[in-house]
Amino acid sequence: MSSDLSADHEDAAPAAVLAKLESLRQTLNHHSFQYYVLDAPLISDPEYDALFRELEALEARYPQLVTPDSPTRRVGALPSLGFHTVKHAQAMLSLNNAFTEAELRAFDQRIQAGLMRTDAVAYGCELKFDGLAVSLRYEKGRLVQGLTRGDGYQGEDITSNIRTIRSIPLRLQGDYPDVLEVRGEVLMFRKDFEQLNAKQLAAQEKVFVNPRNAAAGSLRQLDPRITASRPLRFFAYGWGEIQQAGANAAPMQATHSAMLDWLKSLGVPVDKHREVVTGADGMLAFYQRVEQLRPELPYDIDGVVYKVDALRDQRDLGFVSRAPRFALAHKFPAEEATTTLLAIDFQVGRTGAITPVARLEPVFVGGVTVTNATLHNEDEIARKGLMIGDVVVVRRAGDVIPEVVVPILERRPADARPFRMLTACPVCGSAVERPADEKVARCTGGLFCAAQRKQSILHAVQRRALDIEGLGEKLVDQLVERGLVKTLADLFLLTQDSLMTLERMGEKSASNLLESIDKSRRPGLDKFLYALGIRHVGEATARDLAAYFGTLAAVMQASEEALLQVNDVGPVVASSVRHFFDEPHNQEVVRALLANGLEPVESVLEIKPVSAVLDKTFVLTGTLPSMTREEAAERIRAAGGKVSGSVSKKTDFLVAGDEAGSKLVKAESLGVTILNEAALLNLLDSAISE
């Protein structure tokens, strides 16, 4: 260190010190980018280390000047006691999958139909990394938060661990917006994975099955110093929230591919293996090129991803359920292996469905050891011609779900035995029946069957239903097996004393569980309906039923004809809902739930919505004065309206708050009716009064 700096008082912060700190940080960040992102180092390792030590010494002398984005902060902070959950500013959605050329071409046809075009559509094509999806939030160009994908709507805060990944910039470069959420994948290169496992083996510590598991395990360490010691990498593939001062949207490019180029210009690593192609033939050619290139890549991929390149077209296409309409993941053929089918067991689901399960001689396939696989139903077993004892081909469909493909008939042993479907439930002994119009056989034991009770309760207590935290599978097993819970309603009669009779259940744990049960006593009507486990009624249908009928009594009393008036409810769903509420034991469970203190919060409207709002499409933008956009969306749905995320010719109303951006401009250009919050509330109030 120079003599002029050494003479400075330790508590002071001369301009020369500040300038030197900033210069060192910028220099080190630049060389990290050259080394870890561009793979083109400009200085030697000893030169880099000397600069790093100089920065460390200067920060040690002036600790009050240490910044969160300093290169010295990458070494990791103190261990955390756990990760807390944070809601994503914008949901991290899943992608729909394709496995065949026909499915790819069908996707292209849907895109053309959705855009009402006959010319070829341009698609951005990228690799589908086999790692862990994360979201990085930058404010004023500085990294302030890192989240896992979680369930898509909220993820775990792993900021301290994210900071240790050297390819992730702690500070953006160039012309960046005030807020930028970068979406991408954390992964581990194969050579780094092999070196890590060799190191783990030498230290007699756990070795990892594959690079993805190693990356996921490293990223979720409670001690960031362990994460810092692991060779993790990052590639961006998209973005979430973007904000620019004085506007609701940042300077957006016109295409997805241009946006990725823009992210790269900010210093964010973006993989080079991407192209823009046109039409299904272009996508298929990219897929085939990457399939040939796959063995030479330094990291694992499990397919490619196609996205409509024009962002305007993406907005027009919108989303369906938990996935965008404008994107598709095209998976590579699954890895396959051969093993022996040792036996066929049976699982009983919450609706009584009997599923045959293959018990296999353990086999390593697709990066994991597989010991069992679903066989779906007896027709599927017959179609494949499987016999117990067969040598079979096993693959991980989509690199995820183990599947028995076919038997190898030439290797069939003499003592192979044919499959026989059960006639009695393996759990309760009740008769097994297969309805004439269904492929699945079912136990007739209903709530008498312990397996159905367990599965029904596990379904009901999940976050998307009653959201009872701490009630996992092992605890539900004990509650059912000890007779403490025979129906869902019994959960709300549990006491501290009864819970403390269970294994590994102390006073504090019992108290926490009872508190969680109490918090669940006022679910929304839609969550209550979903929790009941009515066949064919998922979250979206439960929400539509709640919004249309408004009250639990109205849903329970609705005829099939009335149910058919609900959005997206067809004859099968209507019949299932009516059949469920016609069953006396189901009526008893609902009455018991209400008697035991459960009070579903009924919809804002307790009457059938009227035409002023019914089936009209609303888009929300900007900040509303007295409620969040989510609250406004719930009120619109409760009145029978629909809420979309993008403006199109089909949009009826745009609800605009402060700092409304591009959606407002587009709505005005299309002649869409613009409402402020007061006008929206007047519209909903008029629907109620009518």
> What is the pLDDT at residue 81?
56
Give the separation between CA 74 and CA 69, rounded to whole angstroms.
Answer: 8
Q: What is the dihedral sign for C-alpha 197, 202, 203, 206?
A: positive
Q: Which residues of 227-241 are buried (b: 16+ CB within 10 A; e: fewer)?
A: bbbbbbbbbbbbbbe
Compute the half-sphere exposure of residue 660: CA atoms within 13 Å on the CB side of its CA.
22
Q: For residue 164, what are the contacts with CB-CB under 8 A and spacing of at least 6?
A: 74, 75, 76, 224, 227, 228, 232
Strand ranges in 263-310 using DSSP code E only, listed in sequence order: 275-278, 301-308
User: Hey, what's the torsion of the CAs at 388, 394, 398, 399, to 10 degrees?
Assistant: 120
Give the separation between CA 369 and CA 362, rounded to whole angstroms.
Answer: 6
Match 């067809």 to its residue by tokens. Answer: 570
Give the closest residue to 622 by CA, choosing from 674, 657, 665, 655.
Answer: 657
Q: Walk me through the domains of the chain, giving residue ranges and CATH numbers.
A: 3-66 (1.10.287.610), 101-331 (3.30.470.30), 336-418 (2.40.50.140), 446-519 (1.10.150.20), 525-595 (1.10.150.20), 617-689 (3.40.50.10190)
> What is the pLDDT at residue 683?
84
Q: Are strands 323-324 and 327-331 parallel, antiparallel or unpaired?
A: unpaired
Give the separation between CA 217 and CA 555, rounded to whole angstroms.
Answer: 46
3-state secondary structure of 623: strand
Partnered with residue 184 across adjacent β-strands are 134, 236
Give the separation between CA 399 and CA 365, rounded to whole angstroms.
Answer: 9
DSSP 88: -
3-state secondary structure of 656: strand
Query: Can you say whether residue 389 is alpha, beta or left, with left for phi > 0 and alpha for psi between -120 and 50 degrees?
Result: left
Give the separation between CA 351 and CA 444, rounded to whole angstroms.
Answer: 10
Active-site entry in 128, 307, 331, 663:
128
Counting every residue written for the chain, the total comes to 690
Q: Is 331 tagged catalytic?
A: no
> What is the pLDDT at residue 278?
97
Q: Are strands 233-243 and 319-320 parallel, antiparallel or unpaired?
A: unpaired
The count of other CB atoms within 10 Å of the CB of residue 386 is 22
Partnered with residue 180 across adjacent β-strands are 138, 242
The count of other CB atoms within 10 Å of the CB of residue 140 is 13
Q: For residue 567, what are the contacts with CB-CB under 8 A and spacing of at least 6?
A: 544, 548, 615, 642
Sheet strand arrangement including 179-187? 142-148, 132-139, 179-187, 233-243
8 A C-beta contact, residue 182 and residue 260: no
8 A C-beta contact, residue 631 and residue 655: no
Threshold 0.75, pTM exceeds? no
8 A C-beta contact, residue 107 and residue 98: yes
> What is the pLDDT at residue 223?
86
> What is the pLDDT at residue 53?
82
3-state SS of 413-461? CCCCEECCCCCECCCCCCEEECCCCCCCCEECCHHHCHHHHHHHHHHHH
> What is the pLDDT at residue 52?
82
- 646-652 long-range contacts, Cβ below 8 Å, gap at least 24? 646/315, 646/316, 646/317, 646/318, 646/619, 647/315, 647/619, 647/672, 648/315, 648/316, 648/318, 650/617, 651/617, 651/618, 651/619, 652/616, 652/617, 652/618
Low-confidence ranges of the chain (pLDDT < 50): 1-11, 76-77, 248-249, 604-610
pLDDT, one tens digit per residue, over 243-274 is: 886 554 455 789 999 999 999 999 999 999 99
